[in-house]
Structure 1
């Protein structure tokens, strides 16, 4: 397979006896913004985690630019897993409360063996990109707002300049100005790199504004 794109191929996921995803296909092409919607329980976040290579499907598989992926997380080669990044809805659930914002941003760089001096420099560049001032970088999550922490999570997601960026209700908990800034930074990343973007949201107006096409998971909810 040589076709570019991030793909879920007939993916099924169970949690115990509960079938969350049933033979779902999804494709995000480079440069494309795809919307993903569906009612609660339709498996939107689970599909996002599968595509982010954080969860191995029970059936089916994921491919990244034609490369089939087996396993998840650190079992996926660095060259493949760094092509995909995800931004979650809750920044507090997605960060270690013991880390400073600077360390949160630098986390994926250190995890892939980037030298410490280079990781620190890159983290400062990313923090500036998302609008975090230097005084915020020494603070831990409890000492910053949800919006500031989500900016740090966005900077972390962009650390390896991902080819595919997945946004799972990423602006739902933010005020309007921070929502707009996050959307602007994601859009600039996409224009500069040609990244594919998946936007998971309940907000039809947001999806209509951002996505070139929308996939509805409602039809895949098991009866």
Structure 2
């Protein structure tokens, strides 16, 4: 279980979340909907250990998180993967798509060209695209690479923060299908964040709807 309990978090003195609790069970997809500015992305950063909350507790399969970002134990950091809405802000523009996908296992000392090739094919990237850099591909192609990168270390939980917002319908459907297939294969829990309620109704097992002042 990926669990946030009574989380308060924000930027500077401005709280964005206040007393928020949420649970993502293994093997289930929890949808989180709501308008821009209601704190969905802030919660995603807290749950992925990228942002320390002001107060409250995050736990991953019973292990309470006490350190954040690079100070968190590798076993916890790699158990949650975050897929961002805007892929161009999430990658090094100097890297090729192949290098982007290979980045997490390389950092973990587990280089695997066969894994990179397999995941690239799964998300729909051809070999010629893997040699290109972000400015040479579309948003959809870059987001496919980011999804492949997120899956390389087989996270137990995947947070998809508006991952389909900038994409056409066919790419959106394909990426959701990849996530569902990964979930069926591994039993991972998924937090699907979107302002698109129709998408969440099709994708998620259950959906939480937030307003500007979320209470869960």
TM range (shorter): over 0.9
Residues 100, 149 of structure 2: 8 Å contact kept? yes
Question: Could you tell me which of 25, 45, 48 is aligned with 1:29?
Answer: 25
Name the CA distance, whole Å, in 2 between partners of 1:213 and 1:219: 20
- The normalised TM-score by structure 2 is 0.96
In structure 1, the residue matched to 2:144 is 151
Q: Which deviates the most, 36-45 or 24-33?
A: 36-45
In structure 1, the residue matched to 2:114 is 121
Q: Deviations over 1:100-142 (max 9, x none)?
A: 001100111112121x4x2x22211211111111111111000
> Is there any run of 5+ residues in structure 1 with no aligned partner, and where?
none
1:12 aligns with 2:33: no
- Alpha-carbon RMSD: 1.3
Name the CA distance, whole Å, in 2 between partners of 1:63 and 1:129: 31
Residues 20, 221 of structure 1: 8 Å contact kept? no
> What is the number of residues matched between the two proteins?
215
> Is there any run of 5+ residues in structure 2 with no aligned partner, and where?
none
- The normalised TM-score by structure 1 is 0.93
1:215 aligns with 2:208: yes
1:103 aligns with 2:78: no
1:44 aligns with 2:40: yes
Question: Could you tell me which of 108, 112, 129 is aligned with 2:108?
Answer: 112
Dislocated runs of 4+, deviation >2 Å: 219-222
1:166 aligns with 2:159: yes
Secondary structure of the 1:162 match is: coil
